[in-house]
Every structure is written in C-alpha cells, then in structure tokens.
Amino acid sequence: MKLIRHGLRGAEKPGLIDASGTLRDLSGVVPDIAGTVLGRDSMRRLAALDPAALPALPTDTRLGACVGAVGNVVCIGLNYADHAAEAGLKAPGQPIVFNKHSGAISGPADEVWLAPGSTKLDWEVELGVVIGEPAFRISEAEALDVVAGYCLVNDVSERAYQIEYEGQWTKGKSYPTHCPIGPWLVTPDELGDPQAVDLWLDVNGQRRQTGSTRTMIFGVARIVSYLSQFMALQPGDVIPTGTPPGVGMGQKPPVFLQVGDVITLGGAGLGQQRQTVVPTPGR
C-alpha cells in the first residue's frame, strides 16, 4: 500500500495510490496520514479497502509530505562507511543521532529555499523510516514491528551552519523546506527488505549519488531499537537513516547548490522527488 497526502500546503488530505497508479482520496475514511492512523490496526483497515470505491484525484494534484503532524525527525549521521570516508571522518561505532526541526518538512516537489548568504547548501538522499506504534526500550527483534512504512527523504543541509558554527548539527539541518518527504509512504509488506533499497540523486541531470541500504553500517532494526533506548518513539516520528556517498561537500572540489539548480532523487519502491532551489521568499 502506498499512502499519500494531497492538496494545498498546510491543508493536505489523506489519500492512497492504487495498483494502476491512480491517486485516490481517503479523507472520508481517516482524518490524516498521521498519529494513530499509522498504527497496525488502522493500517490493516486501510489495506482492506477497495481503492476503486474511493474518489479519484486529478493527475496533477500536489503531493505534500506523506506523513502529517510529525512530532520528531530523528536522523542518523554517517551511516554509510564510504560517506564517512568522503567526509574525512571515521566510521562510527554507534549510531550518530541528531534532529531536524519539524518545520523543515516539505513536499516532494516543493521548492527548496536557499538561506540568505548561504554558500554551502548540500543534498542527501535517504531512506526514511516512519514509526507506527509507540516504542520504548524495544529489542532489535521487535523493532520492525513498530514501523508503519518507509519513504524517501532529502536531508538538505547547509554545511556552514552544520560544521563551521559552534554546537551541534541541528541548525545546519533545519531551515524551512530542507526536509522534503515522500512522495508516498510505502508499507513494509510492499517495500520488502529495507536493507535492499537502491538510492540515487541527480543535480541538474548529473548523477551525484548512487548507493544501497545494503551498505548501511547500522540497519533499520538496529537504529529503531537503539533510539528507543534513549527516547520514547511516537507514531508519526520520521527517522532518516543516513546517506550514501556523493554529497556536495564530498566532491573534489566541493560542489554546492545554487539558485536555479534542480535536484531529482529516488529509491526502489520509494518513488521520486524533484526540487528547484530558489531564494527564501521575501528575504
């Protein structure tokens, strides 16, 4: 099952994509793709629906972030050994954890804003994990049972804010529009093995990232279990799980995004995103 959120930004409605690729409206069934709707029982009810009985949507309908009312975006850094190497850093012995502010979330085809004075805007294609059940101090064996589904995430990063300013990474990760999510939330049964997902990203039509979750240092089950030892994960929490090599700061010489650049990215079973970099409106 592929779940979506559609409509104007800030007023998105729930929906799904049927087997033929038709967008269908779910607003008469559930209030949003968020919170308790992501729980096991609710997801089973959605899977049992006849999509043909749901209203069809126009093909040009805007898709928003595929999860609504996200409480936390908890990210994993340097989770691919070859990405750590291109950053000149040692592969971690434990997951590196940081946050993106939920105000950074945007839709898969929304514009990405360049901050005033920013010169080191970067891209990162990632597998996102969406939590469906409360999870606190769970084992790795239990971890995948609390996952509602998976999605594509572009962990857009302002490297100067992240690395050259004092403190933690969060301020380099949290600018508005710097967390495109979607186009859809794919359920675990449809995606299959989360450790066998191919990922890619292009900038202006040039391939920059090619990778696979097979080469993650810490797999999804380890990540979810590990995080639950330190925090009570909640339905709707999104966990971007790290990026493969090929980010802008790892190019020789480094290459960063500028106004007018177009980012396209995708993953097997996860769909595709496309963003254009624009100045921050009104700033």
Identify the pLDDT of residue 233.
98
| Torsion angle (degrees, nearest 10) of CA 38, 44, 45, 47 | 100
The amino acid present at 275, given as its one-letter code, is Q
Identify the pLDDT of residue 63.
98
Identify the pLDDT of residue 90.
82
Closest by CA to 262, choosing from 154, 159, 152, is 154
Distance CA 255, CA 119 (A): 10
Identify the pLDDT of residue 283.
65
C-alpha separations of 267 from 21, 63, 139, 175, 192 in Å: 17, 17, 27, 24, 13
Identify the pLDDT of residue 65.
98
Identify the pLDDT of residue 168.
83
Neighbours of 194 (CB within 10 A): 20
Fold observed for domain 69-279 = Fumarylacetoacetate hydrolase; domain 2 (3.90.850)
Those residues of the chain that have pLDDT short of 50 are none
Q: How far is CA 37 from the centre of its chain?
A: 19
pTM of the complete model beyond 0.95: yes
- The residue behind tokens 């939920």 is 102
